[in-house]
Amino acid sequence: MLEMKVPVLMIAKTIRTCFPIAVSAVADKAEEINKLNVFPVPDGDTGTNMSLTLQSVVKELAALPVDADMDAIAGAITHGSLMGARGNSGVITSQILRGVAEGLRDAGEPVDASDVAAAFRRAVKVAFQAVRKPIEGTILTVLRDVSTKADECEKKRLTVEETLDALVVEAYQSVARTPDLLPVLKENGVVDSGAFGFAIFLENFVAAALGRTSKIEDFSATFDADATSAKAGALDRVKIEANDDWEGSEFRYCNEFLFKAERPFDEDEVLKFLGSMGDCELLVGAYPDYKVHVHSNTPNLVLEHMLQFGQVYEVFIHNMDLEVAERTAKIHADQDAAVEPAKALGFVAVAAGSGEAEILKSLGVDVVVSGGQTMNPSTADLLEAVARVNADSVIILPNNGNIRMAAEAAASACEDKRVFVVPTKTVPQAFSALFAVMPDSPVEDVVEAMTEAKAEVRDGEVTRAVRDSQASDGTPIHDGDVMGIICDSIDIVGSDVKQVTLDCINRMMDEEEGDALTILAGEELDDDAFQEIIDAIEEAQPDLEIDAHRGEQPLYPVIFSIE
């Protein structure tokens, strides 16, 4: 054991000092954790979600007065983690934090081994209650193992330093065992991502609490040989594979939101309903504030059901199919980059649908970022995508007017590559821009050619109104009406997707004839309905060459362009 003077652990001060340090360590390792993420869905976001959840707690703690007591700190941890919880891993992490915080409310000053054991026992109870179907080999298993070790330390009357060191060792040893408990981890050559994130948090919190370092860079320099060996054992289990034949989840969308109940409701019945809508269902919190999480193919039905009991807000709906594809592509890119020299030019594009993403990749896009209307990726998301492209210069295609500024900010912030933005507003514009690429030309000339090509595209979108408004000519629009948007202007209003699509195309052809139509079907439009639209267009515009694809974009049943 490394000899040093161990500080007296006064709980309130220790948490406020050490929590941000541990959170920073998780944030630094977020991408490494993301790569491990294969359960319950290999969507590559566990590290990000855990980091965001923990950062929300840091903000709540920072807002407390300097002399805040443990009751106030526990409240901030519980509220901050609940409000900031992201994804399945984030919600479970929030319940672990809540349990530990509740368990420490009555801790002595200074903290001893019995206080630590009580806190983890409470964490196990709270976290396992939140998950209807706990799975062995996950963060919950590691939490339980750590709690069991804490109980052993209490019985042996170990010091708080000895106890905390033992918990770090147990955490990493338990992480190393996760592939033996969950076959999908072994198949993909990884340990459980959430469990690994939990161990990193615990490791760095303990190191800071015991005054060893402000941030763990060299584990062996701050912990004893047992701890070092435990972490090495966990890392030895990691040989990350890009699994292209992953069957995927039965459910496409990760649906999560905050919920404020306006009256008491039956929480068990709501959980049963969420389970009937999909899997990974979670309802955490206490009246009136809750966090809801479920993987489902019908997020609209989930929201509608909860609206019976109160208000929903901060809604996040993630397309896990796209996220899985991004994770696999990123791992491939990292593996390829290790052996392949950088190419001259690469591309990053934003897409809302899996079909759109496939087409963009077929046209030469290296990394597709999930996003679009109502789910704009951040500057950080785009920077991370640029970093994954093994090229000296990268062109970003935002494919939405609301994403352009984030793309330009990413281009300005990138220091190790030359990054340019071709300000596409739609995916069809990106298609045309990519067809104009001249691979051997200077990047400035490529950007100019792509910008000119996208400017020649006349595009349209068909969607449904979500509130009363009016069209460009003053025609009233009511909630639920079908709207035809031509070059950013709402020009057609109707009740039928097929008719509104046809009216838009006919008007565009009357204004200026085109030769080719590219048309993409959204996720709500089935193949038969899409074929009916194509047949109607062929009959009305027999000279128009039609290139039809499944775009699978949400919100817009039809997107098209004429050139």
Class of domain 458-562: alpha beta
Q: What is the pTM of this model?
A: 0.52
Classified by CATH at the fold level, domain 11-236 comes out as 1.25.40
Amino acid at 61: L
Inter-residue contact 286 to 77 (CB < 8 Å): no
User: Which residue ranges does the chain devote to CATH 3.40.50.510?
Assistant: 341-455
Give the closest residue to 331 by CA, choosing from 403, 200, 238: 238
| Residue whose pair of structure tokens reads 């595209």 in the numeric block | 457
Q: Cβ contacts of residue 539 below 8 Å, gap of 6+?
A: none
Structure tokens at 256: 């999560």
User: Which residue ranges does the chain devote to CATH 1.25.40.340?
Assistant: 11-236
When computed from its CA atoms, the radius of gyration of the chain, rounded to whole angstroms, is: 26
Amino acid at 174: S
User: Which residue ranges does the chain devote to CATH 3.30.1180.20?
Assistant: 458-562
Give the closest residue to 418 by CA, choosing from 398, 392, 442: 392
pLDDT tens for the 563 residues of the chain, in order: 333 333 445 777 888 888 888 888 888 888 888 777 665 555 567 888 888 889 989 998 989 888 888 889 989 998 888 888 877 788 889 899 999 999 988 877 778 889 999 999 999 999 898 887 788 888 899 999 999 999 999 999 998 888 998 999 899 888 888 888 887 777 777 788 888 899 999 998 998 888 775 343 333 334 444 555 555 555 555 554 544 444 555 788 888 888 898 888 888 888 889 888 888 788 878 888 888 888 888 888 989 898 999 998 888 887 877 777 776 677 666 666 656 688 999 999 999 888 999 999 999 999 999 887 667 888 888 998 999 899 999 999 999 988 999 999 999 988 889 999 999 999 999 999 999 998 889 999 999 999 999 999 999 999 998 788 888 888 899 988 999 999 889 999 999 999 999 999 999 999 998 899 999 999 889 999 999 999 999 999 999 999 999 999 888 999 999 98
Question: Rounded to whole angstroms, how far apart are CA atoms 85 and 291?
Answer: 8
Q: In what order do the strands lie in the sheet with 391-397?
A: 367-370, 343-351, 391-397, 418-421
Question: Rounded to whole angstroms, how far apart are CA atoms 57 and 72?
Answer: 12
Q: Which homologous superfamily is 341-455 in? A: Phosphotransferase system, mannose-type IIA component (3.40.50.510)
Structure tokens at 162: 């000895």
One of 3.40.50.11540, 1.10.287.370, 3.30.70.1150, 3.40.50.740 is the CATH number of 253-318, namely 3.30.70.1150
389's enclosing H/E stretch is: none
